[in-house]
Amino acid sequence: AIFNIKVKGEKFSDVLPIRDHKEAVKMVLEALISHHVVASLDEIKGVGHRVVHGGEIYAASVIADAKVEKDIEDLADLAPLHNPANLVGYRAFAKSLPQARHVMVFDTAFHQTMEADIYLYPIPYEYYQNFKIRRYGFHGTSHYFVSRQIAKQMQRDVKDINVITCHLGNGASITAIQGGKSVNTSMGFTPLAGIMMGTRSGDIDPAIITFLMKKLGKSAEQIIDILNKKSGMLGVSGLSSDARDIEKAVDEGNEQAILTRNIYANRIAQTIGSYVMQMGSLDALVFTGGLGENDYGVRADVTQRVEKALGIRFDYVLNKKSRGKDTKLSLPDSKVEVWMITTNEELVIAQDTSMLLGF
């Protein structure tokens, strides 16, 4: 595993054998002392944890207790890969830092403001009642942070603006934010839904699953695994899930890579268009995440597809130079501002932890 720690702007990285979460926690705590972040572990009074799924129970961060722990465990049905791992990490920290209190920050919480006519699927209503099948959305902490940052950059109150945030990385989601609240988001019941991603298909006709089961002689779980791990950019290009590799192949004229980039940009543009229609107007379009912050080609491809409809005047020259720093990418006469904003989910987790624990 890769072990990274950043202290006062300086990044330290190493490739180490890390057997489990407990060992990882031990290494983190040792690093805090060896890098003189703290003199003693007794100084640590609070720990913030990212938890992927809070279901309908949690619309905000909470202080951890036995009930919260059980709720996260019960919600593992909705996030079988993530929630159990989140709990292992929490329990390891709780054991190592008995003097500290803990705060759970949920990836789904920000999207709990969506209305029922947006988050419900058109399937028998009893499935929602019995199994809580609905759109939950993810990357909520990032979308929340970016929506507040863009309001600051525009010198506007977040309650007065309509924003679309595009969190683009190997996993990717788009969120419509009206008056500071999430009103729609592209990921759904699981992070497999929405736009095309690095290895995930995003939205497809659900009948494709049973069709492929018959054609390939595979189980439903095996097909879902293909849609999660072998689809998206990797599946269409046949080359890589890494957008940098796709970009290089595009520059070399690889037709499959060009098709991949076009599908990717089209899916994002279509989602942006539908969210503008839902909100009625748009003040800012924001790119964030690993790709959104660093891949000028993706930003240009997407913006080019929506600029005429939205009255955007995009600075393609500045866009090529921009990475790693919040930057306005639209020209002064643009009807909609376009920005690249660097996300900081860790800061939100730290702020929520500090606020709830009264530090």
Active site residues: 107
- Report the distance separating Cα 286 and Cα 284, nearest Å: 6
CA quadruple 173, 178, 181, 183: dihedral sign: negative
User: Which whole-number Å values give the CA distances from 24 to 16, 28, 36, 237, in the listed order?
Assistant: 10, 6, 18, 35
Strand-pair partners of 287: 166, 340
- Report the distance separating Cα 39 and Cα 208, nearest Å: 57
Contact predicate 145/345, CB 8 Å: yes
- Report the distance separating Cα 166 and Cα 175, nearest Å: 7
Helix count and strand count (H, E) for the chain: 15, 11
Place of tokens 């329990």: 91
Contact predicate 139/171, CB 8 Å: yes
- Report the distance separating Cα 317 and Cα 64, nearest Å: 48
Helices assigned H by DSSP within 7-60: 21-34
Q: Kindly give the pairing relationship between strand 46-51 and strand 101-106.
A: parallel
Residue whose C-alpha is closest to residue 194's, from 181, 204, 209, 205: 204
Other CB atoms within 10 A of residue 33 CB: 13
Strand, coil or helix: what is 337?
A: strand
Q: Which residues contact 171 (CB under 8 A, 6 or more apart)?
A: 138, 139, 191, 197, 198, 200
> In this structure, what token pair is assigned to residue 340?
């690249």
> In this structure, what token pair is assigned to residue 52?
């992927």
- Report the distance separating Cα 217 and Cα 308, nearest Å: 46
